[in-house]
Amino acid sequence: NAGVTQTPKFQVLKTGQSMTLQCAQDMNHNSMYWYRQDPGMGLRLIYYSASEGTTDKGEVPNGYNVSRLNKREFSLRLESAAPSQTSVYFCASSEALPGFEQFFGPGTRLTVL
Amino acid sequence: GQSLEQPSEVTAVEGAIVQINCTYQTSGFYGLSWYQQHDGGAPTFLSYNALDGLEETGRFSSFLSRSDSYGYLLLQELQMKDSASYFCAVRDQEAAGNKLTFGGGTRVLVKP
């Protein structure tokens, strides 16, 4: 089992460019999440999907869109990248009940120039 | 909404004991989770407390007091590999799924 996979691992964009971060999990989890982590900071939730077919905003959704393509895949899109979106992006998945651990992917390190 | 407070940094020597406190304010409460993150790595789950008391898992223990809105993570017999950031997290009662709000993290530095 690969767990949670993310692509790409690194990306450099110019201001105004767009890109999609891909995430897939093979643990049959219902819920998936996208976080961003700025240097020396905690994890902030961008969007999440409690179950296939649903998506909801998290703490910092502005400038992002998401798609829950199927139960396995949850993508994050930056339509017009800004330097403030330079960060490390983590995808995670879990069962949809309290107390179950969230499993994180290895992260995507994004720099916007 | 939810908010969590934890110290930003703790330094200790190998073999010592470190306690990382976490106080939280939530509109509803299911339980307190702890995650570990090494530099450059992804967070990994350590523990979850839904009820008051101490849960022990090897060298790590986690404690919860629901009446005080307080918990802590206890790291015993510190090893160099325990140098990492530790995050407490609470589930959002009003959200579906297992949506978590994370604290800002405590960076633990273990010295020889």
Rg (CA), chain B: 14
For residue B95, pLDDT over 70 is answered with no
pLDDT at B92 over 90: no
Average pLDDT value for residue range A5-30: 97
- Give me the residue from A40, A42, A94 closest to B98, CB to CB: A94
pLDDT at B106: 97
How near does any CA of chain B get to the CA of A64, in Å? 18
pLDDT at residue B75 greater than cutoff 90: yes
Can you tell me which residue has the tokens 């969590």? B4
pLDDT at B28: 79
**B98 and A96: CB-CB below 8 Å?**
yes
- CB-based contact A31 B97, cutoff 8 Å: yes
Using the predicted structure, report yes or no on whether residue B98 has a pLDDT greater than 90. no
Q: Which two tokens stand for residue B111?
A: 């010295």
- Provide the pLDDT confidence category of residue B2 given band limits of 50, 70 and 90: confident
Per residue in B18-56, pLDDT tens?
Answer: 999 999 998 778 889 999 999 999 999 999 999 999 999
* Chain A residues touching residue B48 (CB < 8 angstroms): 99, 101
Q: Which residue has the higher pLDDT, B53 or B93?
A: B53
Residue A97's pLDDT is: 77
SS3 B64: strand
Question: In Å, how far from its chain's centre is CA A56?
Answer: 13
Give chain A's mean pLDDT.
Answer: 94
A contact residues 53-82, partner B, Cβ 8 Å cutoff: 54, 56, 58-59
Q: Does A105 touch chain B (CB under 8 A)?
A: yes
Share of chain B above pLDDT 90, in %: 81
**pLDDT (mean) for B85-109:** 88
Ramachandran assignment for A107, one of left (phi > 0), alpha (psi -120 to 50 degrees), beta (any other): left
Question: pLDDT tens digits, residue range A70-107?
Answer: 999 999 999 999 999 999 999 999 987 777 899 999 99
- Environment class of residue B80 by beta-carbon count within 10 Å: exposed (0-12), middle (13-18) or buried (19+)? exposed
Q: Does B44 reach chain A within 8 Å, measured CB to CB?
A: yes
